[in-house]
Structure 1
């Protein structure tokens, strides 16, 4: 069986990746893995599916080479490939190969996270402004017919204020709240009935955490809440998290997820950035073989979206370094490289009219 990295090498003519380490994991364990837990290969001589349930949890992350699993009996739908972030090829270096081989003759839709992807991460989340050069790049993509969606954990209205481009699609609160171009509200807002519960929990978190732990702050994303601890002393974060867990134990309708120096408090529904991407692809009539989705994001919450697009599109993680495994198949270092990628991608659209996408259906 050809592994994903071998297929990638054939498709994009990458340098030899024979020694690149990846991890084949039981999909039921993937969420724990992405959240920082690690599992090693079971102590067997092969990679049979029946070995999955006995993957042992380890203190240190350990991987094994895909080349040792050529006899793996499962099909693509039965496995998940997690890549080491720093082993991924640069999306900038391989842009021409991506365009000429992956996107040739296809329509394209672009999904982008905001903080850490379009805009640099800053200490004050209220000052995470979009650079004018990046805004210009987004406008150029729209001009050549590429549908663009911003998918963020922040409130949709806040992201719209930061980006200020009416022609984009916006998915806020991790996809719980979606709208289309020119402010058209998509009739798909989940978890609205949890707003009173979220509000009650937020008040307690403010009283027992924000007001007592220096540096902690709460961001209201309407359909989710974000507890920031970037400004907190590192030695108080474990205690802060334990306190948050104690509070959330009283609210079984809510769940805690992880981001970059934040804890996200969300409704406990089967909905995330990946589900938002799937929903938008369906709503825009772009969930078909002739459409290639590109998703760029830097956060652990973006892994849900990477899982959705990686087998049929391009998943790009934004990271200079990371101890976590990722579902992405390419990497960019920072928001500056993201802007470079968008500009060069726009140029490629101008140069190669064969892959100019249509916008699909409007919402």
Structure 2
């Protein structure tokens, strides 16, 4: 196997597949993770990170190697958490995360952390939904008609939030630009905010974001002996920026971290802030496998 390697490359094939972060903070985060994996938190977005982006979100499925890679890594670290805007039960079904040996302690923080699914119990815990969501749900179809929303624009029902998608419109970006301001106004009337994403505008309660979810999760784990020694977060969309900010906050508090962008040319804000850019879900899975092999 090693015959074609130059004499100075001592590392194994698996280890050489572990990419090097472009930033010093990222390299420090990865070193801390590898040094004390039992204190590391691995947190990952679902759509675009573990599952390839598809035009119909109902058809989204985890990359075929995602579950085996997570199952190999999870027993070696403090926690693996999937952090998603979707209802947790949907992410669990689309991901195939239930009843997998090795993933007994997986946590899915759904609806931006408002709902939580634990593999160990197989149950979802959740508070009551925000009343503004029901009000917007009733108004939204007529509202879109009145403002002349493009054909192909559609509403996704997410229970604790609503999303308006423009990816199927003739000109997705123009449809997105047309809707952004009016939907922001409608959301504000009902105490909601608009979270923009890749050709989608989500109307949801404030104070629910992936950063809050990640910090809450880390805080809960810190209550246990040893605490959290490193955090890796991987995402691909604007909704992941608050989680990136949460890792920055943890770093400033002395907890090393790694920011991974699941490479997308659609969202440059994330790749510019990331320590490491990988090539979409296949790249994320490759990173998880390399980590599991190295630890």
TM-score range relative to shorter protein: 0.7 to 0.9
Q: Label 1:197 to 1:105 Cα distance change in 2 as closer, same or farther (>3 A).
A: closer
TM-score by length of 2: 0.76
1:262 to 159, 179, 200: 200
Does residue 319 in structure 1 map to residue 241 in structure 2?
no
Mapping of residues 209-248 of structure 1, within 5 Å? 209=144, 213-232=150-169, 233=171, 234-248=173-187
- Secondary structure of 1:301's match? helix
Structure-2 separation of matches of 1:182 and 1:346: 21
User: Is the CA contact 2:44–2:82 (under 8 Å) kept in the aligned structure 1?
Assistant: yes
1:204 to 131, 139, 142: 139
Runs of 5+ unmatched residues, structure 1 = 1-90, 350-363
Structure-2 separation of matches of 1:144 and 1:248: 43
Larger radius of gyration: 1
Runs of 5+ unmatched residues, structure 2 = 1-16, 22-26, 99-103
User: Is the CA contact 2:18–2:291 (under 8 Å) kept in the aligned structure 1?
Assistant: no
Structure-2 separation of matches of 1:257 and 1:320: 18
Q: Label 1:156 to 1:290 Cα distance change in 2 as closer, same or farther (>3 A).
A: closer
Q: Label 1:286 to 1:181 Cα distance change in 2 as closer, same or farther (>3 A).
A: farther
- Secondary structure of 1:308's match? helix
- Secondary structure of 1:271's match? coil
1:102 to 17, 29, 32: 32
Q: Count residues with an aligned counterpart.
A: 254
User: Is the CA contact 2:62–2:95 (under 8 Å) kept in the aligned structure 1?
Assistant: yes
Residue range with higher mean Cα deviation, 298-307 or 177-186: 177-186
For residue 277 of structure 1, what is the aligned residue in structure 2? 214
For residue 153 of structure 1, what is the aligned residue in structure 2? 85
**1:101 CA displacement:** 2.8
Structure-1 separation of matches of 2:53 and 2:201: 15
Mapping of residues 333-348 of structure 1, within 5 Å? 333-348=279-294
Q: Per-residue CA shift, 1:296-345, capped at 9, x if unaligned?
A: 01111111111222422111122243442654322213111111101111
Q: Label 1:129 to 1:193 Cα distance change in 2 as closer, same or farther (>3 A).
A: closer
TM-score by length of 1: 0.63
- Secondary structure of 1:132's match? coil
For residue 12 of structure 2, what is the aligned residue in structure 1? none
Q: CA RMSD for the aligned pairs?
A: 2.8
Mapping of residues 158-197 of structure 1, within 5 Å? 158-166=90-98, 167=104, 168-183=106-121, 185=123, 189=126, 192-194=128-130, 196-197=131-132
Higher helix share: 2
User: Is the CA contact 2:41–2:80 (under 8 Å) kept in the aligned structure 1?
Assistant: yes
Q: Label 1:344 to 1:146 Cα distance change in 2 as closer, same or farther (>3 A).
A: farther
User: Is the CA contact 1:171–1:178 (under 8 Å) kept in the aligned structure 2?
Assistant: yes
Q: Label 1:142 to 1:223 Cα distance change in 2 as closer, same or farther (>3 A).
A: same
User: Is the CA contact 2:262–2:278 (under 8 Å) kept in the aligned structure 1?
Assistant: yes
